Every structure is written in C-alpha cells, then in structure tokens.
A = this chain, B = another copy of it.
Amino acid sequence: MNDVIILGAGPAGMTAAIYCARKQLNVKVLTTDVGGQTLWSGGIENYLGFDYIKGSDLVDKFEKHLKNFKVDMVYKTAATIVDSRDGWAVEDGDGHKHQAHTIIIATGKSPRQLGVSGEDKFRGRGVTYCATCDAPLFAGSDVAVVGGGNSGVEAALQLADIAAKVYLIESDPELTADEVLEDKVYDHKNVEVLTGTTVTGIDGDILLESLDINADGRPRRLAVTGVFVEIGLTPNSAIVKGLVKLNETGEIVVDRSGRTSRPGIFAAGDVTDEPAKQIIIAAGDGARAALTAYDYLLYLV
C-alpha cells in the first residue's frame, strides 16, 4: 500500500514526487514518459533560474533531481482507478493493481488528433504532433502543417527554413494566430497558406506520401512526406471521468490547493482547469498538491 500514487511525470508530477519523498511518504509514479510537454519545447526562457534551456535538457535536469529521492518509478499506462479499502486501486495497462491512500493526477495534455483515415497508420512515419521535436527530420522535404493558430503558424515558420515547401492548412476562412506571426508567415515564399481547407485523409505506402484536403469544396491531393498536426491539446483526464468533476473541456476541476471533487484524489499541472499552462506554474502546483495530500494523510492514517 503506497501513501501516494502519482500519475504522470511532467513538471507537476516530478515536483509532487520530490515533495512527497521529502515528507517521507511512500510514493509511486506511474507514467509512460518523463518530462511531459516540456520534452517537446524548443527553447525555454521563462523557467526561473535558467536563462535559456532546451526542453529536453531541462527535463534531464528535472530527472536527475528526481533520482536523488526514493520514488518508485513504474513505466506503465494507468488504465483505471477504482475505490478500494482505505484508498484507491490503480490498474495499469498490464492488469497489475497498485494500491494507495491518495492519488495525484498529473497526466497533462496531449495533442488533439485530426481523426482522419491514415492518421494512426502513419504516426511516427510522417505524421507528427511536435514541430520542435521533428522539424529537423524533414530537411528539404515538402510538408504540411495543419492548424492556423499560434502553434501552427510557429511550426510553419520553423519549417519554412528547413523544408523545401510548407503547406499551412486552416479550416477557418482566416488564420487565427497573432498578427505579427501571420505577417511573418506570409513573407515566406515557400509557405502556401490554405485557409477554408479541411483535411480528409492521409495516405502512403510504408511512409506517408500524401495528404488529401478539401479546399473550398474542391478535393485536392498534396504530395508531402510530413504532416505536422497543430490543432490544440486535450487533457489526459479519461482515467478519472465519472470519478472527479471535469469542466466542459475535460480538465479536472481543482481548488487552489489541488483538491479535486473527490477526497483523496488531487491533481496538478496542465490536466487541471488552471488556465495558465506553464512549466513553473505546473511545478508549483505539483508541490502544492503534494503538501495537500500530505495533510490529508495526516488525518487519515
């Protein structure tokens, strides 16, 4: 029986784990990765203490820090959470049960998917959700970016300097990014902006070869080897659906101390309804959720 099981090991989950360990709680972390969205960040210049650091380098520092503490890391998906005697049982993807008095959900957000044919098949073989991570792989290629908001336009700008040709696709009649970014993207001769355009399918053989679109009612096939999906993020809260209160976008509703609607279940980081999604805020909230869980345990055991 653990005192705490933490789901996720992004900035919120890692800070929560450190704070729990320092309180000498018996803590287990279930996660499929270490670093969360920070891993995908190119350069970070707003995490206090580091002038400028690559996301993956910051995650290395976080992970090295975490390794100083007694934390049981289990690299598995958490599949379900059920009520159990004195707490909760988390079943992982392999059917193993992990018991704890309290749970801290720090599962973050994941990129929203297009939901078109071929998307699953060509994931990692041309379809990607992280321009910062994968843009360098497409040097000299023709690629498409789907999503005309800030992250899509930023991805297109980044790719414009690397790829041969960039299609920027937005379903709305206009781009929805900050004007300064839009101005920049229109300055690039190798970027073709296609607004009022939806994606209908992704095709290829072993690797991705083409993207099917519908541009103002006319179907068209773009010959590309990379498709960068940049249409937003969705909270990884499925595991607590029905168990704790979620808001209309699926984020976990928490109070300012990280309590969910269910006693004994806490949450921190981007999976919560905290509007500001920032590394330093997620880390602070992870610490806070851990201290709140600690207080809860004082009265429980």
Contact = CB atoms under 8 A, between A and B. Distances in A.
A68 interface: yes
A22 B49 contact: no
Interface in A249-297: 255-257, 274-276, 278, 280-288, 291
Contact of A255 (B14, B15, B256, B288): B256
B283 A288 contact: no
B281 A48 contact: no
Contact of A49 (B52, B58, B278): B58
B51 A68 contact: yes
Interface in A161-175: none
A282 B287 CA distance: 11
The complex is assembled from copies of this chain, and their number is: 2
A64, A65, A68 — most chain B CB neighbours (10 Å): A65
Interface string A50-78: 11100000100110110010000000000
A206 to B, nearest CB: 40
A284 B284 CA distance: 5
Contacts of A46: 18-19, 22, 287
Nearest to A294: B276
A11 B255 CA distance: 23
A274 to B, nearest CB: 8
B14 A48 contact: yes
Interface of A: 11, 14-15, 18-19, 22, 45-52, 58, 61-62, 64-65, 68, 255-257, 274-276, 278, 280-288, 291
Pairs A-B, 7 closest by C-beta atoms: A284-B284, A256-B256, A281-B284, A49-B61, A48-B283, A15-B48, A276-B291
